[in-house]
Structure 1
């Protein structure tokens, strides 16, 4: 397995703007870094659950319908290219997270948000089907990779929260160049997996 490609995909998918990152940043910017911990711990629990479910869902498909594996790789690549172009064209999402600035973002809010967050669900399905299952079907390794993907995702939330508490105006000012760079890196990752 090319672990560097998996990690590159995970970092790019995790650190680009999404509901969890934007909420973490704006909440920390308004109420402090520590106030995001309950929300981020809920996001972590939900992310781990989704990564494990994605791994086992893909494992069932891989074991019982082996013909579908190449199709999953192609779909994963197409999704990554779509995500790259969407990221590169996106505008600021901070206003969405600021609509209710007094809201307390709890553990359960973070957990529930993960269960309905298409970015995280597709992130898990793509990472498992493209990078993990073609190389291993071990239950222990599925759990290990689920933990790795969750840790990368949570490090992104913590980074955005920390950045929000320190540099929110700066990050919002340069969001567009950041998105373009992340999109280009995601395109490179997608291309590397179809070689």
Structure 2
């Protein structure tokens, strides 16, 4: 991969991972509700789970959509249903003071957040676009370059959004304010479905 192509890929990857989307909103909510350290498994699940998804997409998953177009629609429906469920969970998250007493008061695990990438509409869009643009031949070396760049950019993004949430926690010690914050995050998470359900053009 040439320096020019690598620079373009890094720019594309950074812009796509740092902008608001389901992962970043959920990380910010996790940082707010559970703090930075408890959110680390969630961060690692996003930061490593998405590049693993990129490898899977680049080495064959895209062909499934070509062979069976209905599978993409099924994936979209599953993604919408799961995101709506997650939005409900965020809207009803327990305040930090009662999080330990409530069974649902815990952040996503590594496996949960890694698996979430496969039903995240933005992740699918990012993975398909990155492979199409920067690993056109879908050879292993090019796919691994794309995945590696996303690991680096994802580390910056997941850390930034979780720290932002942790800092907001100080302003949201009041349970009523925290409930309002969680409900706003839930609404924004649902709003990320708009481009999926009503694509431009």
| TM interval, short-chain normalised | 0.5 to 0.7
- Give the drift of 1:145: 2.0
Q: Are residues 121 and 137 of structure 1, via their aligned partners in 2, closer, same or farther at CA, if it must alter by over 3 Å? A: closer
CA contact (8 A) 1:59 1:137 kept: no
Structure 2 gap ranges (5+):
65-86, 95-104, 172-180, 182-201
**1:17 aligned counterpart, secondary structure:** coil
Question: Is 1:7 the counterpart of 2:10 in the alignment?
Answer: yes
Query: Counterparts of 1:68-83 in structure 2 under 5 Å?
Result: none
- Give the drift of 1:100: 2.3
Q: Aligned Cα RMSD in Å?
A: 3.2
The aligned residue for residue 93 of structure 2 is: 100
Q: Show CA shifts across 1:18-58 (max 9, x none).
A: 12111111111222111111111222332122110222238
Question: Is 1:146 the counterpart of 2:119 in the alignment?
Answer: no
Q: Are residues 154 and 121 of structure 1, via their aligned partners in 2, closer, same or farther at CA, if it must alter by over 3 Å? A: farther
Larger radius of gyration: 2
CA contact (8 A) 1:24 1:160 kept: yes
Question: Is 1:132 the counterpart of 2:129 in the alignment?
Answer: no
Determine which of 108, 114, 121 is the counterpart of 2:124: 121
Cα distance in 2 for partners of 1:19, 1:26 equals 11
Cα distance in 2 for partners of 1:112, 1:146 equals 16
Aligned length: 139
CA contact (8 A) 1:28 1:161 kept: yes
Ranges of 4+ aligned residues in structure 1 off by more than 3 Å: 57-61, 94-99
